[in-house]
Amino acid sequence: MANIFTNFLRIVPHPGQAIGPDEAGWIVERVLNDRGSYNVPVAAHRASDGGLLDIQAGSRKNPYFHDFCEEHPERYAFVGERFFDDGGTVDTMFGLGPGEEWSDFGPCWYGFDEVRVLGAAVHLPAVGTRSGWAPLGDGCWQASLVGRYQTGNDRADIAKAGPCSMKVEWNPPVADVQPGGLATPTTPAYWDVDIMGLQPAALEPLVVHGSLQADDRPQVERVELLWRGRVVHRTQMEYDDVLEEYVWEQRSADDWDNCLNPQYIASMDALRHEAG
């Protein structure tokens, strides 16, 4: 897989205004135009009060994808984009305020507040104290840990979306996942991705390698990072069709809810303050 972009747009109206169903549909049509989404399923979500519109699509081979955002700079209070190029490693973020040019917010930081590990207690890393891990039963352990990381959120699904996909799924079911995939707020994640800058660093060997020693075979069955009860990153053995064997792989299900970029958080805080 190469040359596939995954774009996540968030469009927020001015305080006191709302994006209605018809306007939301018009925005999605304008973003897709006649080029559609390239090998990424189109998923859209409008808040019930019209307070925001989220769109997932693939902008590769769609030169007009961002025209809507640039043609209506005064119409919306904030337009944000999280972007992943499958030839790269991590998501990057951009923002557009009223009358502004696109601003580069840099690599995306994503947060978690809980870790779950399926495996023997002897393989758990020391995080504060080993007693910080609580048993959940059936060999699963949980720790309340606050941290962050960078990764790529690849939503390419060639079997579901072709090179000019126009089908739009509004609020797609998060449970509709094929084997090897991870449910996300949009469409499932099926591709192995990197995780970088993981904090606290004591978790890195376990998440990246499944072992406290990088040269060991995985010693646990699964590691999950959660944000407010939702799994946002999972690592476990997955079957690789090319290698024809099971390998330790990552899946990411990050979304706007666990995005920690300071510029994004500041923009949302400013809008909430303006709304009173």
- As a whole-number percent, the residues of the chain with pLDDT over 90 amount to 78
- pLDDT given at position 213: 76
Average pLDDT, the chain: 92
Sequence-distant (≥ 6) Cβ neighbours of residue 211 within 8 angstroms: 123, 205, 217, 218, 219, 220
- Distances in Å between the Cα of 257 and the Cα atoms of 203, 229, 236, 264 are 22, 12, 24, 11
- CA 249 to CA 231: how far, in whole Å? 15
- As a whole-number percent, the residues of the chain with pLDDT over 70 amount to 96
As beta bridge partners, residue 148 has 111, 199
* CA angle, 200 then 203 then 208, to 5°: 125
- pLDDT given at position 273: 81
- CA 258 to CA 142: how far, in whole Å? 19
Overall CATH class of domain 5-107+261-275: alpha beta
Ranges of each domain in the chain: 5-107+261-275, 111-154+191-256
Answer whether residue 56 shows pLDDT above 60: yes
- pLDDT given at position 1: 57
- pLDDT given at position 99: 67
pLDDT digits (tens, 9 = 90+) for 170-216: 998 887 899 899 999 999 999 999 999 999 999 999 999 998 776 77
- pLDDT given at position 180: 92
Q: Is the dihedral of CA 122, 124, 127, 130 positive or negative?
A: negative
Q: What is the pTM of this model?
A: 0.94
- The alpha carbon torsion through 155, 164, 7, 196 (nearest 10 deg) reads 40
